[in-house]
């Protein structure tokens, strides 16, 4: 264990105080070494070549050049997994679209508990990011053939689970689907508040009706319900419709919301009238739930390794036999429509 190579991290933030908070916090982990600090992207550019960091943490709002533009300019020249550090803002989704792999929310520096939770979250995300060796290939929007029978499958529901890299993966799937698609329920590991912002962003960028789920909402045709960032979500069949319940609870597989909680409820309530999709992410959340869905007759899809930012959750599901069909992210919309049709 003593000989294990440390993860080399560079911190980019215009606040000297916040640079030190992050440095002291993450350096307390024996597997992480802070090799460089930079106050802006221009200083970072020079230090990257000297220190060759494995992972970069980057503030979103900085003078001279913001973090989003930095990500856009850096990645074509030098690939390193970038974790954005941001206040509550839609800017994080722009950064993810530009190529950042994850984000954390800046805490109130006066809150000891808030800072500790922030550091714990950042440490875990740095460790996940360090496993990413190659940039994910760009996802092109493919031409989709919509089967005629899909419109009549009123009992069908689609369940999707994702974690690291999932916001862009989910967007790439939803943007290709027609408004006649059966109802979709999604659990994405994401902080509270951002789940609502994510839903609103998808609602404006796709042809589907997307919203953060509330207890009592129905997953009807053309509707997408996203689990709130601090609550589990499960479904209940009411007649031929599916209603969601969002509730506080203990973490499952280290997460709330948990993909397994959603998938197990779909297995129970929808039986064979469902399609489950597990996307990029670290860990095993969703694997057992997807297997339960398959045992009950549902169709199941897993994202392949090459197109995954982190091939953890899809691999765990594939290894236990939960995945019926493995596909590249760009092909999943058509695989889904073919299964429904």
Give the count of beta carbons closer than 10 Å to the beta carbon of residue 164: 26
Report the 3 state secondary structure along the chain. Answer: CCCCCCEEEEEECCCHHHHHHHHHHHHCCCCEEEEEEECCHHHHHHHHHHHCCCEEEEECCCCCCCHHHHHHHHCCCCCCCEEEEECCCCHHHHHHHHCCCEEEECCCCCCHHHHHHHHHHHHHHHHHHCCCCCCCCCCCCCCCCCCHHHHHCCCCEEEEEECCCHHHHHHHHHCCCCCCCCCEEEEECCCCCHHHHHHHHHHHHCCCEEEECCCCCECCCCEEEECCCCCEEEEEEECCEEEEEEECCCCECCECCCHHHHHHHHHHHHCCCEEEEECCECCCCCHHHHHHHHHCCCEEEEECCCCCCCECHHHHHHHCCCCCEEECHHHHHHHHHHHHC
Catalytic annotation, residues: 163, 189, 285
Complete edge-to-edge strand list for the sheet that includes strand 209-212: 209-212, 223-226, 184-188, 157-162, 274-278, 299-303, 325-327
Q: How far apart are CA 290 and CA 298, in angstroms?
A: 9
């Amino acid at each position: 264990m003593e000989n294990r190579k440390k993860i080399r991290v560079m911190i980019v933030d215009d606040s000297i105080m916040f640079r030190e908070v992050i440095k002291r916090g993450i350096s307390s982990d024996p597997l992480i070494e802070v090799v460089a600090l930079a106050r802006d992207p221009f200083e970072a550019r020079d230090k990257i070549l000297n220190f060759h960091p494995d992972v970069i943490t980057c503030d979103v709002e900085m003078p001279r050049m913001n973090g989003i533009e930095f990500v856009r300019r850096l990645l074509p020249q030098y690939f390193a997994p970038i974790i954005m550090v941001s206040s509550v803002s839609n800017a994080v989704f722009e950064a993810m679209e530009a190529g950042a792999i994850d984000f954390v929310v800046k805490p109130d520096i006066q809150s000891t508990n808030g800072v500790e939770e922030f550091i714990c979250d950042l440490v875990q995300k740095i460790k996940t990011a360090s496993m990413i060796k190659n940039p994910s290939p760009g996802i092109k929007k493919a031409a989709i053939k919509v089967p005629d029978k899909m419109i009549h499958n009123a009992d069908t529901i689609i369940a999707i689970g994702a974690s690291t890299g999932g916001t862009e993966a989910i967007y790439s799937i939803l943007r290709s689907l027609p408004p006649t698609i059966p109802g979709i329920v999604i659990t994405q590991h994401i902080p509270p508040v951002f789940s609502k912002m994510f839903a609103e962003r998808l609602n404006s960028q796709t042809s589907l009706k997307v919203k953060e789920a509330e207890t009592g909402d129905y997953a009807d045709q053309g509707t997408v319900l996203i689990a709130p960032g601090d609550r589990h979500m499960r479904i209940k069949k009411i007649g031929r419709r599916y209603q969601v319940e969002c509730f506080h609870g203990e973490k499952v597989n280290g997460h709330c919301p948990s993909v397994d909680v959603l998938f197990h409820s779909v297995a129970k309530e929808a039986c064979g009238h469902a399609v489950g999709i597990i996307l990029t992410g670290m860990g095993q959340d969703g694997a057992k739930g997807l297997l339960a869905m398959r045992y009950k007759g549902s169709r199941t899809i897993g994202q392949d390794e090459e197109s995954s930012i982190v091939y953890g959750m899809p691999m765990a599901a594939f290894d236990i036999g939960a995945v019926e069909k493995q596909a590249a992210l760009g092909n999943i919309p058509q695989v889904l429509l073919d299964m429904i049709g």
